[in-house]
Structure 1
Amino acid sequence: MKVAIYSQFQKKKPLASLEVLLEVLQKRNIEIVIEANFYKGILPKIKTEYNTFSLLDASFDFLVSIGGDGTILRAITLVKDLNIPIVGINTGRLGFLATIQHDEIEDAIDNIINKQYSISERSLLTIESSEDNAEINRCNFALNEIAVSRKNTTSMITVETELNGEYLTSYWSDGLIISTPTGSTGYSLSCGGPVITPNAASLVLTPIAPHNLSARPLVIEDTTVITLKVDGREKQHLVSMDSRIATLTNKTTITIKKAPFTIKMMVFKNETFLDTLRKKLLWGEDKRN
């Protein structure tokens, strides 16, 4: 087997998990390849030399992300449409995507070797704009959400929204989030959006601090093509694709739809989405219960 290892940070906690992971993989004779920038940062702190990668190819059996959910969101920009399964070791905070804890690393690797896992296919969003933009062109997809928001102003913006070519409304707000089921427990949830199970064929439109108080999150089919045009007092606005940000000129036409590929997340038998909800959101953690 051949495994890719990716992380963003060289802090104590990720390094401790990396050391355990490397030891476990070496014992099981799994070929290890570490992302080049991460390897450069940790090189003085590890004794063994490893091969590195800048770009992935289909020869990898799986990718291990060490960090939080944000690290996995970065990792998908490397995986893209290669169908390489991802598993996350959680050294961050919540960990809806990165679910393996430090003391579970060895068991998780053994489960992968013994094929004691399932694959959760996560849908993504793609974005196109009528304005040529280098950041969007470089990587035009997102696993969690795509959002438009105000830039250098405290004034609200107007987000004119169409679904499949039919006018929906103009949101007068700080912005608008278009979220996948995976992203429903992220930014959208913080803005009052619903939690959606990962395998639901849905998207959700969640306004950010809307001034028209009747504006509520809207769940739509994931086959819907969403068209946005932003206007406001400033000449530009922001578009975020997970953690990546681009600046667009007002009145630019933005088209958002479901991506033609999915991201494959490894899920182990002792994990379920509902169990994760209870643990991470503390559902039922009430003294009265």
Structure 2
Amino acid sequence: MRIGVYGREFDAKFARPVKQLLDALHKEDFSLVIHSDFCSYLKDQFDCAFHASTLNTAEDVKDLDFLISIGGDGTILDTIAIVRDSNIPVLGINTGRLGFLSNVAVEDIQNTVKCLKERDFHLDSRSLIKVDGLEGITDFPYALNEVTIHKKDTSNMITVRAWVDDVFMNSYWADGLIVSTPTGSTAYNLSCGGPIVMPGSENVVLTPIAPHNLNVRPVVIPSSCQVRLEAQTRDQDILLTLDSRSFSIENGASVKLSRSSFKVDLISLPGQEFFGTIRSKMMWGIDKRN
């Protein structure tokens, strides 16, 4: 089997388990294809060569069976722009911080390799948001977590007008507006008071960022709806963010959001499930009465 490997620089404490992972994959006769930048970093980190091909573009992943992401949740988001609509499953090894998406601990390396070899895992299909109106800005107008319109200047609010299926919904006077998938509901959306939505739910959440009206609350709508947003500001530009990728758009620009025609598959190993991850990462149930 051919396994792609993508990652970011990691803390020194993760060097040994990452090396163990790569050695274990090679020992099991997996054919490794490592992202070129990460491969260069690994060679410098370990002062050795790897028996691996390199990948650079989305075209290079077509023959992969899996793609392993080594890093945090932000690294997982990077991989989405690599796998795109190829249906290649992604497995996240957590060398970052919280790790909602990259939820395989480095202590589980040997079991992880065993599960991959035996295909003992299940796939969680995650929906994405497509953004229309960014022609010439990006060749991958999709977000796994959220699409956010927010102010560029630190001192002024912006006004975001929102329509759902061409029906006017609201004008938000705020620092910005988040349109989140269920996957992204535990990210920026959650920190702004939005609800946690189970993966697989066919919904998106509209959550204002620091609204100047206490009556404005997050709204959950079906993912089959189309959302149109127009933002006004005193500044010239506004920031539009797709996951971790930010772009400047013109004042008054209109963007349309809809459910993407494809999904991304994330690998979950035996014993991993959503509420278990929530309890672990968010420390639910940490109470002396339990």
Q: If the length of structure 1 is used for normalisation, what is the TM-score?
A: 0.96
2:112 pairs, out of 92, 101, 108, with: 108
In the TM superposition, residue 27 of structure 1 has moved relative to its aligned partner by 1.2
Hey, what does 2:98 align to over in structure 1? 94
Hey, what does 2:233 align to over in structure 1? 232
Equivalents in 2 of 1:215, 1:17: separation in Å? 47
Q: What do residues 31-54 of structure 1 show as CA deviations (whole Å, max 9, x unaligned)?
A: 011100111222232423321110
Q: What stretches of structure 1 of length at least 5 have no aligned partner?
A: none
Equivalents in 2 of 1:12, 1:239: separation in Å? 34
Equivalents in 1 of 2:141, 2:14: separation in Å? 28
Hey, what does 1:2 align to over in structure 2? 2
Equivalents in 2 of 1:269, 1:41: separation in Å? 31
Q: What do residues 244-279 of structure 1 show as CA deviations (whole Å, max 9, x unaligned)?
A: 000001111111111111110011121110000000
Alignment of 1:121-270 (within 5 A): 121-129=125-133, 132-134=135-137, 137-270=138-271
2:75 pairs, out of 61, 71, 75, with: 71
Equivalents in 2 of 1:124, 1:263: separation in Å? 8
- Matched positions, count: 286
Equivalents in 2 of 1:34, 1:14: separation in Å? 18
RMSD over aligned Cα atoms: 1.3
Hey, what does 1:26 align to over in structure 2? 26
SS at match of 1:138: coil
Equivalents in 1 of 2:37, 2:284: separation in Å? 38
Q: What do residues 198-242 of structure 1 show as CA deviations (whole Å, max 9, x unaligned)?
A: 011110000000012111000000011100000021121100000
Q: Is the 8 A contact 2:10 2:96 kept in 1?
A: no
The letter of the residue matching 1:30 is F
Equivalents in 2 of 1:6, 1:195: separation in Å? 28
In the TM superposition, residue 60 of structure 1 has moved relative to its aligned partner by 0.3
Q: Is the 8 A contact 1:10 1:41 kept in 2?
A: no
The letter of the residue matching 1:83 is N
SS at match of 2:262: strand
SS at match of 2:61: coil
**Structure 1's 17 and 75: CA in aligned 2 closer, same or farther, altered over 3 A?**
farther
Q: If the length of structure 2 is used for normalisation, what is the TM-score?
A: 0.95
Equivalents in 2 of 1:14, 1:72: separation in Å? 17
**Greater mean deviation of Cα atoms: 16-25 or 273-282:** 16-25
Equivalents in 1 of 2:150, 2:104: separation in Å? 33
Equivalents in 2 of 1:8, 1:80: separation in Å? 19
Hey, what does 1:37 align to over in structure 2? 37
Equivalents in 2 of 1:20, 1:267: separation in Å? 20
In the TM superposition, residue 10 of structure 1 has moved relative to its aligned partner by 4.7
SS at match of 1:21: helix
Q: Is the 8 A contact 1:4 1:35 kept in 2?
A: yes
The letter of the residue matching 1:264 is D
SS at match of 2:4: strand
Equivalents in 2 of 1:59, 1:132: separation in Å? 29
The letter of the residue matching 1:53 is L
In the TM superposition, residue 168 of structure 1 has moved relative to its aligned partner by 0.1
Q: Is the 8 A contact 1:13 1:91 kept in 2?
A: no
The letter of the residue matching 2:259 is K
Equivalents in 2 of 1:186, 1:124: separation in Å? 15
Q: Is the 8 A contact 2:93 2:106 kept in 1?
A: yes
Are 2:118 and 1:117 aligned? no
In the TM superposition, residue 138 of structure 1 has moved relative to its aligned partner by 2.4
The letter of the residue matching 2:125 is E
In the TM superposition, residue 112 of structure 1 has moved relative to its aligned partner by 1.5
Equivalents in 2 of 1:35, 1:46: separation in Å? 17
In the TM superposition, residue 156 of structure 1 has moved relative to its aligned partner by 0.7
The letter of the residue matching 2:53 is N
The letter of the residue matching 1:82 is S
Are 2:81 and 1:80 aligned? no
In the TM superposition, residue 17 of structure 1 has moved relative to its aligned partner by 3.0
Q: What stretches of structure 2 of length at least 5 have no aligned partner?
A: none
